[in-house]
Structure 1
Amino acid sequence: MEVKDIKKVIESCHLNFLIGSGASKNFLETLKGVEEALDILDKRTGLSENQTDEKVIKLIEASIKYFYFEKCIKKNIKLLDVTDDSNETLNNYTNLLSALQTILAKRTSNLVSKQVNLFTTNMDVFLDIALEKLNYSYNDGFSGRMNTKFSTENFHNIINKVSSYYEYQSATPLFNLFKLHGSLNWKYNKEKDTIQYDNQLESTKKISETELNAADLVNCFDKNGNFLRLDEIYKEAEKKDFSKVQKKLDEFMEEYNNLIMVNPNKEKFEETTLKLSYYELLRMYSNNIEKENSVLFVTGFSFADEHIRTITLRVAKSNPTLLIIVFAYDEEAKNDIEEKLNISEHHNIIIKTKGDGNYTFAEVYNSIFKEITEGLQIPPSENKTTNTPENSAENKAEDGK
């Protein structure tokens, strides 16, 4: 499938993107070994009958999650202070979003909406900050200003603009941002049983301020990020003086568990509201790609997530009008994804590789969407925005940030 073919698809299809951790690579690490580590620890794989001390197990768990926090989460705090174009990864996001905004603004067909659905398993705030920086209209599921509240019902909202004369209305290009695994800018209010917005990443900052450090923990990974033997890690962990580290461990784990996210294993939320929101977001992912004449672009995502993989394959089989285009990083990634998706059984899944290089997130924009939008110009904006009855909650760019 060439760029000209993708352009034709975009002109007539509902636009959906599935974005994984590979999109934030370089600034944040992907650390596939963490998922394996937590799964092995949960099953106690490789431990002997005598290796059952729960204090030691908790220390290993804290060591894995501390490693994950330091490599994949903590640096998000720095993104809050980015005001220029110095962050290359953030620029990759803004470039793609700018291209999509142009595509949406130039759409003339009334058969498909001027919306794009951004589904991501990333807990980072790159998309949030990029949309805010560009001042685009977007919906992230939150409503309210003084007391923000998350509800998947808000994703049914639309935004219209009305001209100063004749009250002519037109749909505004809108990005729907679905954080399928939760987000670092979410916080849970146990008293009100609601998910609220954390625009300053206070939960993440509290974790970074705990006194726990690498010297209190045990090394669980080699230099390539691969998980070491659990029984050997256990032997090192039981040598620790728990009288000195237990308090710091408890503090770290308490703050870490306040993050509203699905850890990189198959852990589920305990709170009913969080659990329902998680499964509702997956349902909305399914519903959107089930729409007739939909396209799903996949980048930075390996389909290792069992739930998302199962949903995607089910819809690919039941919806013959759905087209899935996967940008695989390289040939090795392509072969892995082909095996996971059993590609031979699905005629509507295309996996693309770049013959003269790798399909990084930046390259997906440069070689595909930048070329598609060349020559397109965004029409002059209308004078003001008005909320239709379907749009009681405004753009989150105005919403509690």
Structure 2
Amino acid sequence: MTNKPIEEIKLKTKKYLELENVSFLFGAGSSFHLGAPVIRTIPKELKDKCLTEITNYFGQNADPSFEDLFNCLQADRYLQEMKGQDVSGINDSMVKMQKWLFEQCDTNKTTIHSIYTSDTKLEKNRYHYHEVLVKKLLQRPIHLKRANLFTTNYDMAFDYALDNLGVHYVNGFMGVHNRCFRPEVYDYDLYYPGQSVVGKVHRAEKVLRYYKMHGSLSWVATPPSVSNTYGIKEIPLNGDFTPDENNEIMIYPCVSKKSFTLDLPYSELFRQFAQAINQPQSVLICVGYSFYDEHINDIIKQALSIPSFTLIIANFSPSIDPNSEIEKLRALEDKRIIILDQTDASQSTFVSFVDKIMPDLYEQEELAYVTETLEKLYPSDESTNSNADTDE
């Protein structure tokens, strides 16, 4: 499929979007054009502030990932607390990292990446491509199951896009002024009554299921209470909030360590992901996800045991690493695994996928193909006469 024309890829993607179970998984690549950082390694400006911690846990001249360093701090804090020792220094280091992350991942304030500064659509609306994707996704027939939107990003790009469009998204939280994590919400749906008191109810159209699998800048850890049994609260990012020792944002600290014991909300989010894609007639479309999370990868591999499961991958990379997880999937030569050309920016970046690959289900592409075929099978008199004249 990677060598086929874009229009053919687009038409095939349209077929998969009409399946009963459709899920998307977005990684860091979906926020790249907004200027959000890829924190697989610690950027220099933060690394300079954390040299003491890096040297303490990893040694001189080490280059750990953001998640690895944050995980060490959390583990060390736990051990010191068990010993009854002071953890204020560790808390200060964690707050320092969270403040940096909070500032750098606020997509309302980030600078559009230099590659996209000439994009007039982004100039008018920085969430243009996120909104276009959501609008196209909502064109699926209403009788099908709700589409699932999973992301490993902490940022609020999709949150803002969904709010801008007035889309109701089920994200695991309930409440208005006191929004607390309640996983049973994922089983809810939205309907409204018909015109008569007695009769059928109608399913609301602008609804998506939204899962932030690694946490969010808007999730804050709070002491458990009767009204918030899990101790997780969602807050509005209105400029008044700043992470500190008493307001610790909930971000998944350990992306690559499979031995890490998952706790809520992450255990529930991963369970929801497994449940969503391990269904008959399911498709998972991964965009901007580099397959660095072993937990997620294991769930995807398990889904490949289902004959009707399809995996589509769009992840731009200027060079191909033959040892990458994506290339290992390609080597399986499984027709159910469709990998767009990673080195082709016209189809595998988030922006190009939304603009050129993600189909508009209301378009008449199929009708155009049918018309073209019929014209070839039954040419008009004019074309027949023209061919005859040419032969003479």
TM-score with structure 2 setting the length: 0.67
Q: Is the 8 A contact 2:107 2:155 kept in 1?
A: no
Residues 78/22 of structure 1: CA separation in 2 closer, same or farther (3 Å cut):
closer
Are residues 124 and 8 of structure 1, via their aligned partners in 2, closer, same or farther at CA, if it must alter by over 3 Å? same
Change (3 A) 1:153 1:62: closer
**Secondary structure at 2:236 match in 1:** coil
| 2:297 corresponding residue in structure 1 | 309
Q: Which moved more, 1:156-165 or 1:333-342?
A: 333-342
1:30 and 2:38 are equivalent in the alignment: yes
Question: Corresponding residue for 2:4?
Answer: none
1:366 aligns with 2:355: yes
Cα shift at 1:301: 0.7
- Specify the alignment match of 1:97 in structure 2: 134
Partners of 1:12 and 1:334 in 2: CA distance: 32
Higher RCO structure (Cα 8 Å, ≥6 apart): 1
Deviation readout 1:346-375 (Å, 9 max, x if unpaired): 442211127473522121111122454435
**Structure 2 CA distance, aligned partners of 1:119 and 1:42?**
35
Instruction: Note if 1:206 corresponds to 2:242.
Output: yes
Give the unaligned 5+ runs of structure 1.
49-53, 208-251, 377-401
Residue 352 (structure 1) aligned to one of 316, 340, 343: 340
Q: Is the 8 A contact 1:343 1:349 kept in 2?
A: no
Deviations 1:101-125 (CA, angstroms, capped at 9, x unpaired): 12x2xx16x5x32x11001111111
Seen in structure 2, the aligned counterparts of structure 1 residues 33 and 191 have a Cα distance that, compared at 3 Å, is: same
2:25 is aligned with 1:18: yes
Residue 188 in structure 1 maps to residue 224 in structure 2: no
In structure 1, the residue matched to 2:58 is 45
Displacement of 1:64 in angstroms is: 8.2
| In structure 2, distance between residues paired with 1:134 and 1:97 | 9
Unpaired runs of at least 5, structure 2: 2-8, 62-75, 77-86, 112-120, 366-392
1:170 to 199, 202, 217: 202
Q: Please say if 1:324 is aligned against 2:356.
A: no
> Residue 297 of structure 2: SS of its match in structure 1?
helix
Residues 220, 233 of structure 2: 8 Å contact kept: yes
Q: State the 1:85 CA deviation.
A: 7.1
Larger radius of gyration: 2
- Name the CA shift for 1:171/1:189 in 2 (closer, same or farther; >3 Å): same
Task: Measure, in 1, the Cα distance between the counterparts of 2:257 and 2:124.
Answer: 32
- For 1:325 and 1:334, locate their aligned partners in 2 and report how far apart those are by CA, in whole Å: 19
Q: Percentage identity across aligned positions?
A: 24
Matched, 1:129 2:160: yes
Instruction: Give 2:357's aligned amino acid.
Output: I
Would the aligned equivalents of 1:295 and 1:322 in 2 still touch at CA under 8 Å? yes
**CA–CA distance in 2 between the matches of 1:322 and 1:8?**
13
Q: Does residue 65 of the first structure (1) align with residue 97 of the second (2)?
A: yes
Q: Deviations over 1:41-93 (max 9, x none)?
A: 49933449xxxxx99x96996698269527633455689xxxx9756541111
Note if contact 2:255-2:294 (Cα within 8 Å) is conserved in structure 1. no
Contact 1:325 1:349 in 2 (8 A): yes
Taking the aligned partners of 1:61 and 1:357, their CA distance within structure 2 comes to 41
Report the 3-state secondary structure (helix = DSSP H, G, I; strand = E; otherwise coil) of the residue aligned with 1:311: helix
* Structure 2 CA distance for aligned equivalents of residues 12 and 191 of structure 1: 40
Q: 2:253 aligns with which of 243, 260, 263?
A: 263
Matched residue type, 1:206: T
- Which AA in structure 2 matches 1:167? G
**Following the alignment from structure 2 to structure 1, what is the Cα–Cα distance between the partners of residues 106 and 282?**
36
The corresponding residue for 1:383 is none
Rounded Cα–Cα distance in structure 2 between residues aligned with 1:308 and 1:69? 23
Structure 2 CA distance for partners of 1:47 and 1:202, relative to 1, 3 Å: same
Quick check: 2:148–2:210 contact (8 Å CA) kept in 1?
Answer: yes
- Cα RMSD for the two superposed structures: 3.9
CA distance in 1, matches of 2:108, 2:345: 32
Aligned equivalents of 1:189, 1:356: Cα separation in 2: 42
User: Equivalent residue for 1:7?
Assistant: 14
SS of the counterpart of 2:264? helix
Distance in 2 of aligned mates of 1:63 and 1:153? 31
**In structure 1, distance between residues paired with 2:320 and 2:102:** 26
